[in-house]
Amino acid sequence: MLSVSLTSPLSLLLDLLPPGVCNLLNPAAIYANNEISLGDVEIYGFDYDYTLAQYSNLLHSMIFNTARDILIEQFKYPEGLGKYDYIPGFAIRGLHYDVQKSLLMKIDAFHYVQLGTAYRGLKPVPDEEVIELYGGTQHIPLYQMSDFYGKGPSLKQFMDIFSLPEMTLLSSVIDYFITHGIEFDQVHLYKDISDAIRDVHVKGVMYKWIEKDMEQYILHGDEIYAVLNRLVNHKKKLFLITNSPFSFVDKGMKHMVGKNWRDLFDMVIVQADKPNFFTDRRKPFRKLDDKGSLQWDKINQLEKGKIYKEGCVWLFIFMLNSWLFFHPDLQDLMLRHGWRTGAIVPELETEIRIINTEQYMHSLTWQQALTGLLERMQMYQDAESKQVLLEWMKERQEIRSLTKNLFNPQFGSIFRTFHNPTYFSRRLVRFSDIYMASISCLLNYDVNFTFYPRRTPLQHEAPLWMDQLCTGCMKTPFLEEMVHIR
């Protein structure tokens, strides 16, 4: 029979947590998936939106409101939708949307839906219904996911930061239709909302808002100049590839860096049509003059200091020997082309601050302790022991939900489900050598710094003392006594 001590969980937690365990992680740090030496990098490439230019959350409200009004005025959707406003913090990046089932949900790296994170409209779908919808399982088969990118025939993954208002609008429209008993075609509804969001970008509405009030919309401008200027002073070459038009980029860079911003860059490519830029083999470059007007001459080679439009990576490949490209969208540049890549993940700062809190540390440590107890004590099968095990399982599930809610009440962390990496994390690890909250994190490191990934043990490997110490592992005993080794 299983003997259980009724020791207070709080006192157990205090015993389990080493001194100084909170605040181990630095939100301004750069984290490595792959070993990379900045000293070997001669060329630095940058995306513009959400890489050089970080935007305030007000932009999401404006995108939501404008796309909502397009649906009402141009697509003739019910006027009652006008009562819906943007809900900050409703959705997170990396979610999947099942078009046929009208489900917005979080999927892990193994294609399993995290129960409790499936929403139809603004309301959660019961776990039992989710399992029934997928044939008695939480698993999404590979043929539905289509390929590594999660772009199956009926699944859409929302990867970029601009997708946050799109997910919220999608959920709001579905909520209105369900609440008012209005039947709708799932495919048409999804396409209409995608088109409305696209119009906000393609027709230049968003660009006009930002250009009109850059102080309100653009963040961290002063740090961008410091990063770029430092690289140029160390004889690094810089280029910019963006989907945004030149006039918009020019005004934003003048705001952040100064009127001579182009002197810092060897090359600027605008309206690149990413991600097609990285897969197309034939689209030619077109040249713009200094005012951004289109030129008609044929481009046989790319010249330093010039502005180009469109094109494709295969015509750019001669420069790919030793460069590092920073971008926010986790495109497959590493595996396709062998580029070294740095992912900009603004959410990282908030998530690390949560991870550093005592509440998170206590919840996670107690959850891990309960998991260990369940694993080791499951062989006790008498009636009393079974009851204890059931109580532990219930408590573990409650703590899991509590930990998830610390990050986002609907969907939790963008990096983890309850215990597995998310599909977003899977792409982050595969498609980036390093990742950070903002490009300004580069200022914390020497230009010749080498990033080394943490050696975290595989499931069949025994953890090493030094590995645990260097990675801030919570299971390391005598942390204070051993800290002199670092």
| Residue 15 a catalytic site member | no
Helix axes 221-233, 246-256, angle to 10 degrees: 90
Locate 227 and state its tokens.
Answer: 């990063």
Pairing of strands 237-241, 267-270: parallel
Q: If you ran DSSP here, which 8-state letter would residue 276 be given?
A: G
Helix axes 358-377, 9-16, angle to 10 degrees: 100
Q: How far apart are CA 130 and CA 118, in angstroms?
A: 7
Per the CB < 8 A criterion, the answer to whether 451 and 35 are in contact is yes
Q: If you ran DSSP here, which 8-state letter would residue 187 be given?
A: H
Which residues pair with residue 103 across a beta bridge?
Answer: 98
Please tell me which residue in 15, 40, 47, 329 is annotated as part of the active site.
47
Cis amide leading into 275 (omega within 30) = yes
For residue 254, give the 3-state DSSP assignment.
helix
| Residue 47 a catalytic site member | yes
User: Does residue 147 have a known ligand-binding role?
Assistant: no
Q: How far apart are CA 69 and CA 199, in angstroms?
A: 11
Please tell me which residue in 40, 49, 98, 192 is annotated as part of the active site.
49
Residue for token pair 């006009």: 208
Q: How far apart are CA 322 and CA 324, in angstroms?
A: 7
Per the CB < 8 A criterion, the answer to whether 269 and 240 are in contact is yes
Q: Identify the burial level of 486 via C-beta atoms within 10 angstroms of its C-beta, where 0-12 means exposed, 13-18 middle and 19 or more buried.
A: exposed
CA 124 vs. chain centroid, Å, equals 22
User: Does residue 49 have a known ligand-binding role?
Assistant: yes
Q: How far apart are CA 191 and CA 201, in angstroms?
A: 16
State the binding site: 47, 49
State the binding site for GMP: 49
State the binding site for Mg(2+): 47
**Residues annotated as catalytic (active site), given as ranges:** 47, 49
